[in-house]
Structure 1
Amino acid sequence: MRRWVALSFALLTVATSALSQDAYLRSLETGVDARAWEAVGRLDIAGAGFCTGALIAPRLVLTAAHCLFDRKTKQRIDHKSVKFRAGWRNGRAGAYRNIRRAVVHPDYVYDGAVSPQRVRYDLALLELDRAIQNTTIVPFDTAPRPRRGDELGVVSYAKDRAEAPSLQETCSVLARQEGVLVTTCSVDFGSSGAPIFTFSNGVPQIVSVVSAKAQVEGNEVSLGTALGTPLALLQAELVAGKGVYQAPGIKRKTISASDRRRTTGAKFIKP
């Protein structure tokens, strides 16, 4: 049986009088149901687990940073072992792609402990080896983070729905705390990195990705990473040529001003 990448757990205090009963999860098993969501896909992690990701450009997939870390060693995994299966449904995908480069937020630390700091920076951007240029797989736009009370939706794979995604069309924002979005959206193991949407003018736009689940007044909620500045930073890092995998323990040697005068300016890798 396929394992899934675990969501982190946290206990969060949110000032709210009650949690509303939100819409149920609807499985997107047929082509008709899944038509608008083909840009959401399953990220298979080194053949051992999976997360959820979504296209925001023909070559860019947005997901959670912790999907790129090994739970046991707490080290980055080689993103070349990750596969993106756009629109994965019942053994088939609309497109299959490998990952060429991957960047995580520079302030993200995977240490096994859940905190607002960790959730706030739990964002990764993956560059595919080839663009997905398919008229049925249309990348999603992103939007500013929503306000408290705004309605949301989430599309995700999870432990009991690994072979087809599910849509929760109506959940809501409970709070925004220090760059963390607290929502009533239903998530489970494997939902890590799943896109959280608003539906302005009926068009889904990504406002967050699932990072963890927590409890509020004894009810399960989800924690999402805000986009905005963190996403812009990751996009800039890819433009700057970053995202090439380095095995743990390899360090870059810092070159002094005097060194630069004696060299061509190349950066050296120190084992």
Structure 2
Amino acid sequence: MKQLRPLWVLLILVSMSAWALDTEHIEKERLALFFAHDDRVNIPAPYAAPYNAIGRLEVKSGGTCTATLIAPDLAVTAAHCFLMIPRKIDAGRWFMAGFHDGKYQARYQVISQTFHPKFRKGLSYKGDDVYIDPAVAPYDIALLKLKLKDGVAPQPMSVFKGNRQQLMQTILRQKQQINQAGFAEDHDTILSAHLGCQLTQLRSNGTIFHRCDTLSGDSGSPIWIDLRTASMSGPTLIAVQSSAPDWFNRQQADNVGVTVLNLPTKPVK
């Protein structure tokens, strides 16, 4: 006689099947976002330079992004980190340099954030996602005014100084290889990096296309090159991570970064 399975066993089997399908779908999305392979490495703590200049940015609503110390009282990140709530500026609260598993090397209070006022007009909101109109993409970069509250201040990361032509020449000398590191959503308490990823285009509007493996939480994260020139040497910030296409549009577009050529100079109104 054929044995009948109890109902609860059938329910568990159905639940496990649904979980397996969901896991498979999530993995498919991740591989698409990572250009078919996750090339990130976890940075061991305590972080040495330049990683200790990279930290987790917290805004007043509790959301997080990545930012980079570029002066004793300044950091740089993405402007959209403060605009995830429609019709409201979600001001910065804390920047924690060298953040790892709830601890940090230095904690800074965010005094203010500066970004181009035109940027807000090019955003659209769908559910929890924010979409950036290409016309305002070059403005997705922000400066943070900071005040050290506790900890030991790390050495700031150097910022590229020069015009677009000089930046292009520098990128070509580096064979278009760049580095990126941030606090991605899949393990947002530790720093992960994609080293030696590819910059695919430096655009005339001051943005770049690149193929570094990033997720939500990497917004505002540094994109840098290792310079060895007469005037500059060491890790040098050239851009911040801005946005990425939906996973199903990965074949049509690379990730977008905004170069330091577009750093804002006037406070937001």
TM-score (norm: length of structure 1): 0.70
Q: 1:62 aligns to what?
A: 76
1:203 to partner: Cα distance: 1.4
Provide Cα deviations, 1:26-67, integer angstroms capped at 9, x if missing partner: 101322x54531010000122532100000001001000000
In structure 2, the CA distance between the partners of 1:21 and 1:159, relative to structure 1 (3 Å rule), is: closer
Distance in 2, matches of 1:34 and 1:47, equals: 30
1:142 counterpart (131, 141, 159): 159
How large is the Cα RMSD of the aligned pairs?
Answer: 2.8
SS at match of 1:66: helix
Within 5 Å, which residues of 2 pair with 1:77-226? Answer: 77-79=90-92, 82-109=93-120, 110-112=122-124, 113-130=131-148, 134=152, 137-143=154-160, 144=162, 145-146=167-168, 147=171, 149-177=175-203, 178-201=205-228, 203-214=234-245, 218=251, 221-226=254-259
After superposition, what is the alpha-carbon deviation per residue over 1:179-212, rounded to whole angstroms, capped at 9, x for unaligned? 2200111110101000000111271110000000
User: Cα distance, 1:88 vs. partner?
Assistant: 0.4
Contact kept? 1:28, 1:34, Cα under 8 Å: no
- Quick one: distance in 1 between partners of 2:193 and 2:132? 26
CA shift for structure 1 position 161 = 1.9
How far apart are the structure 1 equivalents of 2:181 and 2:35? 19
Match of 1:119, SS?
helix
Seen in structure 2, the aligned counterparts of structure 1 residues 123 and 211 have a Cα distance that, compared at 3 Å, is: same
**1:128-169: CA deviations, max 9, x gaps?**
12388946x110111154446511000111111211111111
Is the partner of 2:81 in helix, strand or coil? helix
**What CA distance in whole angstroms lies between the structure 1 residues aligned with 2:108 and 2:213?**
28
Unaligned runs of 5+ in 1: 1-18, 247-271
How many residue pairs match? The answer is 213
Q: Which residue of 2 aligns with 1:13?
A: none
Q: Distance in 1 between matches of 2:37 and 2:94?
A: 32
Distance in 2 between residues matched to 1:23 and 1:70, nearest whole Å: 27
Matched letter for residue 54 of structure 2:
V
Contact 1:209 1:225 in 2 (8 A): yes
Give the 3 Å change call, closer, same or farther, for CA 176–46 of structure 1 in structure 2.
Answer: same
Q: Which amino acid aligns with 2:183?
A: Y
TM-score (norm 2): 0.70
Runs of 4 or more above 3 Å deviation: 19-23, 33-36, 130-135, 144-149
